Amino acid sequence: MLPARSVLNMKPKTKNCKNCKKDFVIETEDFDFYEKIKVPPPTFCPECRRVRRFAQTNETVLYKRKCDLSGKDIFSMYPSDAPFPVYETDVWYSDQWDPYQYGLDFDENRPFFDQFFELQNKVPRMSLVRQGLAVNSPYAHRVTDPKNSYMTFRASYPENCLFVYNSNYSKDCTDSNWIFNSELCYECVNVQNCYNVKFSQEVKDCRDSSFLYACRNCSDCTACVNLVNQKYCIFNERYSKEEYFKKLAELRINSHSGISEMAEKLNVFRKKFPQRAIVSVKSEDVSGNWFAGCKNVHQSFDCINVKDGKHLFMVFSAEDCMDYYEWGNKAEQIYESVNCGLNIARLYFCNQCWMGATDLYYCNTCPGARNCFGCVGLKKGEYSILNKKYSKEEYEILKEKIIKQMQEMPFKDKRGISYSFGEFFPEMFSDFAYNETIANVFFPLSKDEALSRGYKWKDKEKKNYQATLKPSDLPETIGEVKDSILNEVIECEEKDDPNSVGAFRITQNELNFYRKIDSPLPRACFDIRHLRRMNKRPKLKFLRRNCSKCSSEVETIYDKDYAPIIYCEKCYQQEVY
């Protein structure tokens, strides 16, 4: 995909987005990819396509409900009023039900998407997405082998983790996002290979430190920016070991007021230093942000070991992919798909297909399926259309017939936008309310805006708690907290925010963790804390700026407010490393 030299030699073409009505450009190499996979060019611009994919997945919202097969109380990404049955994950994978019993005959007189939507609202879904064995982790979703983890999402092999989002091989970490191979970390964003690091961002190979930004291989440092191979530093000033710990005690960063004060100071201090235009490690020919081991990957974010990709987000170990949100792990030739991974190939317009899924079009939750079109909930299904099985020959003939019908009889949404073959699922097909998805984090909409665009909306259910403590009543330090706090209901300090559940409790595991790291109790509920961390990263908007040192033009997502000083890669390497 996206070769250095075009095969078709087609010229770039400017099109007008059917959704936002803004112009966008389809590049020469994009046409090559579309031709290779035999799909027409998109009619939505890259950003509208990204929002459309993001709106298909519930990231962190869980509901307590009944399993519709066993009647057991379960936790689920779907509420009790979902239009389709929801089964406990282990039950869903079992032989207790047959997805083929919901099969539909293709009706050439109805738009294909109409028929798919009908099927989608009939077939049972799994309550939570989990791979491997979950040990004492009922509140974990989109995880692999979680152990003793609570409210942990998009994580592989988390152990003793609380309130963690997007993690890999992390242990004893709490309230952290994008945290990898780390232990005993708290309130961190984008950290890797760290131990006992708190309130830090863009940090790698550090330990026993707090309030770091863009530091590497540092220990016993506080409130530092762009440091490499340093020790006993505060605000980038070096101290002796004795002076450092004396000064550290004076800062009181084990108290609520001390932490708040230090966070404000670091935000001001950080802006005095150059920001790397693209955060990238061992990568070449990339654009976007947060790359490691990537080559020829553009307009993408959070990619690891990816080759030849464009418009990707949170993808690892993949090749020849475009318009792809989250996962990978041996993925090849994936287009306009969400939550797909683990030995997959040639998936187009799919959601939640994994474990060897190949050659799928418009499928939802079909692990291990092959050669399927418009199917839902098939486990290792093959040569099936709308959950009805065919011979290989019958399948190929009907597939081509449906593709032609989709082009001649497009589906139209409530706004009159048409969807033919080659478009991802319409907004109204999402199983989730817009404000339950990651789309509302990166591309926030008001309730009225979301509804007007065809999305659903679900007002946050405030916890039916009678608060017994105001956040201002909480002690300044964890040393002042007694075990009786476990019986209290704490009012969220942003209780009136529509994203807040209003109040929260402290669990025993949380209390143990805060005591272990000598950090005060939080004063906001998980939802607010999670959004605060998400908002520490810049928005996914591409900007053209000039390097503050050499004046060369750079593409970045860091605006002047976030990073007044921006450096190109060459200048950053010369000054920082």
Of 241, 272, 303, which residue is a domain's last? 272
Antiparallel, parallel or unpaired: β 174-180 and 150-156: unpaired
Rounded Cα distance between 425 and 338, Å, is 11
* Mean pLDDT, residues 238-264 taken together: 97
Contact at 8 Å (CB) between 504 and 526? Answer: yes
Whether this prediction's pTM lies above 0.75 is answered by yes
Which conformational region is residue 187 in: left (phi greater than 0), alpha (psi within -120 to 50 degrees), or beta?
A: left
Residues 253 and 149 in one domain: yes
The total number of residues shown for the chain amounts to 577
| Residue type at 562 in one-letter notation | Y
Partners of 233 in beta bridges: 221, 238
Per-residue confidence (pLDDT) for residue 5, from 0 to 100: 39
Q: Are residues 33 and 159 in the same domain?
A: no
- 29 and 154 belong to one structural domain: no
- Residues 37, 141, single domain; the answer is no
Helix (H, G, I), strand (E, B) or coil at 504: strand
Query: How much is the average pLDDT of 37-60?
Result: 95
With respect to residue 500, please indicate whether it lies within any of the assigned structural domains. Answer: yes
The chain-wide mean pLDDT, for the chain, equals 95
User: Over 70: is that where the pLDDT of 466 sits?
Assistant: yes
Last residue of a domain, one of 231, 246, 272: 272
Domain-embedded: residue 258: yes
What is the three-class DSSP state of 543?
A: strand
| pLDDT tier at 577, thresholds 50, 70, 90 | confident
- Average the pLDDT over 127-154 and give the result: 94
Q: What is the pLDDT of residues 160-202, one digit of tens each?
A: 999 999 999 999 999 999 999 999 999 999 999 999 999 999 9
Q: What is the pLDDT of residue 243?
A: 97
Q: How far apart are CA 85 and CA 67, in angstroms?
A: 8
- Sorting pLDDT into bands at 50, 70 and 90, what band is 461? confident
- The pLDDT assigned to 414 comes to 86
Mean pLDDT of 63-89: 96
- Per DSSP, the residues of 405-470 read HHHHS-EE-TT--EE-TT-PPPGGG-SSBGGGBTHHHHS---HHHHHHTT-B------------B-
Residue 432 near residue 456 (C-beta atoms within 8 A): yes
pLDDT number for residue 11: 86
Query: Which tokens go with 173?
Result: 């970490």
Report d(CA 194, CA 207) in Å as an integer. 6
| pLDDT tens digits for range 6-46 | 445 678 999 999 999 999 999 999 999 999 999 999 999 99
Same domain, 143 and 17: no
Nearby residues of 5 by Cβ (< 8 Å), 6 or more positions away: none
Examine the pLDDT at 382 and tell me if it is beyond 90: yes
Q: In the chain, pLDDT over 90 holds for what percent of residues?
A: 94
pLDDT of residue 9: 63
Mean pLDDT of 390-397: 98
Beta bridge partners of 356: none
Q: Which residues contact 497 (CB under 8 A, 6 or more apart)?
A: 528
Mean pLDDT of 528-532: 97
Domain boundary among 248, 272, 296: 272
Domain co-membership, 34 together with 156:
no
Q: What confidence score (pLDDT) does residue 576 get? A: 86
pLDDT of residue 303: 97
d(CA 327, CA 144): 12
The parent domain of residue 501 ranges over: 471-534
Count of domains observed in the chain: 3
Residue 431 pLDDT grade (very low, low, confident, very high; cuts 50, 70, 90): very high
CA angle at residue 77 from 367 to 360, to 5 degrees?
25
Say which DSSP state 477 is in.
Answer: B
CA-wise closest residue to 175 among 201, 152, 203, 202: 152
Q: Each residue of 274-305: pLDDT tens digit?
A: 999 999 999 999 999 999 999 999 999 999 99
In a domain, 205, yes or no: yes
The torsion of the CA quartet 294, 213, 210, 186, rounded to 10 degrees, works out to -50
| Residue 516: per-residue pLDDT | 97
Same domain, 141 and 37: no
Q: Any residues with CB less than 8 A from the CB of 561 and at least 6 apart, and which?
A: none
pLDDT in tens, 300-348: 999 999 999 999 999 999 999 999 999 999 999 999 999 999 999 999 9
pLDDT tens per residue, range 535-555 = 999 999 999 999 999 999 999
